[in-house]
Amino acid sequence: MNLPYIDSARADSVGFSELSLACALSVADLQELIEYGALAPLESAEPEPLFAISCLEPLRIAGTARRDYDLDLFVVVILMDYLRRIAHLESQLHSLKAQSLLPQ
């Protein structure tokens, strides 16, 4: 995933404005997602809030679904939760396959 507006010097985190650009969500939408608890800034000494890069993909998918289907922001929160759960389950599945506990 090569996004020109993401600062490659911070490979593990993304800034607030960069996140807004990458997900095509407004700063107000991101603020509301923080208030709902769906998006949590990292502890940082930076003046701008930083977020884990792992939040980028579910947020981009949820943001696209919001625009495509005119979803309320609260529905985006629910969708993001399910996307995170799916990613976690896929990770567990890959781990089990790597340990040869499940058939390939």
Query: Which one is predicted more confidently, 101 or 89?
Result: 89
Report the helix count and the strand count for the chain, using DSSP H and E.
4, 2
> What distances in angstroms separate CA 82 from CA 12, 66, 76, 79, 87, one per listed residue?
22, 15, 10, 5, 9
Each residue's pLDDT tens digit, 16-41: 889 999 998 999 999 999 999 999 99
How far is 33 from 27, CA to CA, in rounded Å? 10
* Helices within the chain (DSSP H only): 16-23, 27-36, 56-69, 73-98
Domains of the chain in start order, with CATH, are: 13-98 (1.10.1660.10)
pLDDT mean over 71-83? 93
N-term to C-term CA, the chain: 27
Q: Do the Cβ atoms of 48 and 16 come closer than 8 Å?
A: yes
Query: Which one is predicted more confidently, 2 or 73?
Result: 73
pLDDT mean over 69-83? 93
Q: Do the Cβ atoms of 14 and 5 come closer than 8 Å?
A: no
Each residue's pLDDT tens digit, 33-69: 999 999 999 988 888 889 999 899 999 999 999 999 9
CA nearest 53: which of 88, 13, 5, 16? 13
pLDDT mean over 72-81? 93
Task: Say yes or no to pLDDT of 4 above 90.
Answer: no
pLDDT band at 8 (very low <50, low <70, confident <90, very high): very low
